[in-house]
Amino acid sequence: MKDEDNSVNINDAAPTSPVRSSSYHHGDLRAAVIAAGMARLARGDDRELGLRALARDVGVSATALYRHFPDKEALLDALADEGLRRLGALQAQAWLKAGGGSAGFLAAGIAYVRFAHDEPALFRLSFTRQMPERAADAGGDGGDVAYNLLRAGIGEALPGAADPERAALHAWSLVHGLAMLILDKRIEWDEALVADVVGLTFGGIA
């Protein structure tokens, strides 16, 4: 399990004033564009995630972004990957705060559902992008952090599981399904209810 946050360091909101592209150091522009995209997603403005819109947000021309994002699909993939990294980091933090073991496993499961509730547009984007080729070229994507934590949790919380991979898939299906039911307004958000339901699989209820 990786306990460090390896997500891109971004601000909570896009810059409030244009910044000349010449003022960016190498790599800063990419991070700034991802930050602007995250800010739009947080506002629910997920229909305006094109290169031109985000270029305006950071005060550069759309042409300046092509070095980092050859097309809109690459930009959306980068945002989705960052969303998965955020999810993995939040789960890792919840795990550590709870002290690991069954309590940590339960906390990580609750954190998954809470992330979906708190960041609905980012959550949906992160799980609707199809990035198998790009992920393979990069050695994996941000989802690896969350899934590796899940597999580690199965090993610690359910050491007697006959098939850890299937047990991990079962646990993931539980929290993802619950998250989608909440996002689709089938059930209302209630953290106590989430903790009870997640606990049935994640070991939080005796």
Give residue-wise pLDDT tens across range 133-184.
Answer: 555 454 456 667 677 777 777 776 777 777 878 888 888 899 999 999 999 9
Q: How confident is the model at residue 202 (pLDDT cuts 50, 70, 90)?
A: confident
Q: What is the pLDDT of residue 7?
A: 37
Pick the closest to residue 198 from 168, 174, 167, 165 (CA basis): 174
Question: Over 70: is that where the pLDDT of 99 sits?
Answer: yes
- Taking only the tens place, the pLDDT of each residue in 67-96 is 889 998 889 999 998 999 899 899 989 989
**What DSSP string describes the chain?**
---S--S----SS--SS---GGGPPTTHHHHHHHHHHHHHHHTT-TT--SHHHHHHHHTS-GGGGTTT-SSHHHHHHHHHHHHHHHHHHHHHHHHHHHTSHHHHHHHHHHHHHHHHHHSHHHHHHHHH---HHHHHHTT--THHHHHHHHHHHHHHH-TT-S-HHHHHHHHHHHHHHHHHHHHTTSS---HHHHHHHHHHHHT---
pLDDT above 90 as % of the chain: 37
Question: Over 80: is that where the pLDDT of 193 sits?
Answer: yes
Cβ partners under 8 Å of residue 113, min gap 6:
175, 178, 179, 182, 194, 198
| Domains of the chain listed by start with CATH number | 21-70 (1.10.10), 76-202 (1.10.357.10)
pTM (two decimals): 0.78
